[in-house]
Amino acid sequence: MGASVGLRTINERINQLETRLAQVHREPISDVPAVVQFDGIWLSMQTQQDGIHQDSRRRKRHRKRGKRIVVLVALGLWTDGSGKRQILDWEVADKEEQATWERLVHRLWERGVKLETGLQAIVRDGSEGLEQALDYVYGSTLVQQRCIFHKLRNVSNKCVGLDREGKKSFMEQAAAVYHALNAPEAEARLTAFAQHWRATQPQAVATFEREFEQTIRYYSLEGMVREVVRTTSRLERTNRELRRKFRQVGCFSSPRGAEVAVYIQVTRLNAESGQDELVGGFSLSCT
């Protein structure tokens, strides 16, 4: 997909790869990562509608309607010093909700991504549907770390009335809360931050305090690189590369077409990184 791809080509690829796609979603994952990050990529899709219209060249065409679909992605990260990361699985859905996240999460569990096989933590954003799906499949024993980047971005969005330098100082102080050596120190730093800023930035402080404990669960984990566990930044970098490739297509004619595009582009990323396809997923070099 280095250039624009026609609908006929996409349909041909769908037919060629449909069997392989079914296998990919079922293959056991024997090398289980310590950390799995979840996020979604929103894409455009056009569906054919009843009725005919004439295009700019006066040719008859079926009417089409655009809609948005989301590709839910699970990225595995190994904390053994290898820098290895691998897209474990994905799910094409109409929206981010518990039922769609649950299909992806439960499939990973069935393929072997479990606490007893090496999984230690999940990193996620604030999606309520994803949280519910993880609770249903894994229960309360799995460490779920809320992404710090998303938390700080939400705090920044609630910060008002400060000039550029003032907001920069505000956000530097907010980020410093997570430089603590342990969870009690992080909580103490948040208390001091809140006391200093609550009078002038009440909404931002309230946003920071809301479910703060979910953003410091990484302190309970030992022997793990904090930057791997604290945020979904590595998955977001992978997703940005996928989005860049998808923009060359423009839009998709079906969810199956989007799923084939994910498969093709992840395979292309493997080839560019000089790594081979692995059982149960695709390895991506860490950048």
List, in order, residues 6 or more apart from 229 with CB less than 8 Å away.
Answer: 35, 79, 121, 123, 145, 218, 221
Please name every residue paired with 122 in a beta bridge, in sequence order, or none if there are none: 36, 144
Radius of gyration of the chain (CA): 22
Mean pLDDT lowest among 109-118, 137-146, 251-260: 251-260
pLDDT band at 282 (very low <50, low <70, confident <90, very high): very low
- Is pLDDT at 272 greater than 50 in this prediction? yes
Grade residue 147 by pLDDT with cuts at 50, 70 and 90.
confident
* CA distance linking residue 42 with residue 75, whole number of Å: 16
Q: Which fold has domain 8-52+61-147+232-284?
A: Nucleotidyltransferase; domain 5 (3.30.420)
Give percent of the chain above pLDDT 90: 42
pLDDT in tens, 166-201: 999 999 999 999 999 999 999 999 999 999 999 999
Over residues 115-133, the pLDDT tens digits come to 999 999 999 887 889 999 9
The candidate with the shortest Cα–Cα distance to 93, out of 109, 77, 71, is 71
Give residue 1's pLDDT: 45
